[in-house]
Amino acid sequence: MGARPLIIDCDPGQDDAIALLMAIASAEEFDLLGVTAVAGNVPLAKTEANARRVRDLAGWPELPVYAGCPRPMVRTPVTAEAVHGPSGIDGADLPEPSRTAEEVHAVEFLVQTLAEAPSSVTLATLGPLTNVALAIIKNPSILDNVAEIVAMGGAIGLGNVTPAAEFNIYADPHAAHVVFEAGVPLTMVGLDVTRQAIATPARIEAIRSLETAPAAAVCGMLVYYGAQTTTKYRHGPPLHDPCVIAHLLKPELFEGREMRVAIELAGEHCQGRTVCDVHGRSGAPNARVLERVDADGFFALLTERLARLPVATP
Ligand code: RIB
Ligand code: CA
């Protein structure tokens, strides 16, 4: 099977950065058409610059990066510097990007690329869904050319930014509603599964032993990210976004169920909750919700892919 056309939408974010590295290292499986950045963990100006820093680190400075929406559709913007640091990728210590982002807005890139793509395109979303939702609203016919969407977001159980909601959905629930109701094949990579992918000290040391610039940056980010989240995760930080790329590479590492997922838009305490109908009583499924991952297999895959990246940043 040829490489699948892929667009990654992200808000780097340490875990986004690691997911991007993993995808860039997988050139046999992915024809990466571009990376779109959205406001999320940190403001857009930082997420898009971080995406450009990561492409340099991966040795692919020509990979096109498109800046997208600087704020959610309706709600007031929220960010997550308390978790990711003021830069969004604290711990990485990367130089300024080697070249600018593309002129075209990310939403326009999504619309144009999906409208003109010779074969259907997979969307991997790692942040709030604002860019993807607005592309769908602008030109709904692009959905005919979307093979599937694999989205990090939501949870069957407890959230992380509130007891009810996970950050990517909470940050733009209206955009999430548009995407979850779009009617295209959707895999929800929620906290239930990503909280099983914990970067323990042993797993971090296995990455460090690669002794490459990308591996060193990943370890720096994981140590920082872990220090911010270790109060919630016993042995280290959860690798939320890389689970999306791992699922595209080796879906057999994961288990999940088809179910209807509704996005709570109102509610004083529950806005942004993904209401997952595990009992199948509220209508036809609109998502495959992942629930389990072979964590050792996930980290073996991540480490093997990181090993493929250039030893030193050119
Ligand atoms: O809740 C985790 C998600 O929110 C991850 O994508 C992380 O990068 C942040 O965007
Ligand atoms: Ca993210």
Find the mean pLDDT for residues 157-185: 98
Q: How far apart are CA 289 and CA 75, in angstroms?
A: 25
Residue 39 falls within a domain, yes or no? yes
Q: What is the pLDDT of residue 91?
A: 97
Q: What is the pTM of this model?
A: 0.98
The CA distance from 178 to 151, in Å, is: 13
Ligand 1 nearest-atom number relative to CA 15 = 8
Tell me the average pLDDT across 53-72: 98
pLDDT tens digits for range 198-234? 999 999 999 999 999 999 999 999 999 999 876 655 6
Q: Residue 25 falls within a domain, yes or no?
A: yes
Span from the CA of 241 to the centroid of ligand 1 (angstroms): 7
Sheet of 287-293, strand order: 65-67, 30-37, 4-10, 121-125, 146-152, 186-189, 287-293, 254-263, 274-277
**Residue 267's pLDDT is what?**
84
Q: What is the pLDDT of residue 232?
A: 57
Residue 281 alpha carbon to ligand 2 centre in Å:
31
**Each residue of 92-148: pLDDT tens digit?**
999 999 999 999 999 999 999 999 998 999 999 999 999 999 999 999 999 999 999
- For the chain, the average pLDDT equals 96
For residue 176, is it within any domain? yes
Domain-embedded: residue 234? yes
Within a domain: residue 49?
yes
Residues having CB within 6 Å of any atom of ligand 1:
11, 13, 15-16, 40-41, 126-127, 152, 160, 166-168, 240-241
pLDDT digit string (tens) for 230-259? 665 568 999 999 999 999 999 999 999 999
Local confidence band at 312 (pLDDT 50, 70, 90 cut-offs):
confident
Q: Does residue 312 lie in a domain region?
A: no
Q: How many domains does the chain have?
A: 1
The boundaries of the domain holding residue 156 are 4-306
Query: Which pLDDT score is estimated for 228?
Result: 85
What percentage of the chain carries pLDDT values higher than 90?
A: 94
Residue 311 domain-assigned (yes or no): no
- First CA to last CA across the chain, in angstroms? 31
313 located within any domain: no
- Per-residue model confidence (pLDDT) at position 2: 85
Which class for 89: exposed (0-12), middle (13-18), buried (19 or more C-beta within 10 A)?
Answer: buried
Residue 162's domain is classified under what CATH number?
Answer: 3.90.245.10
pLDDT at 314 over 70: no
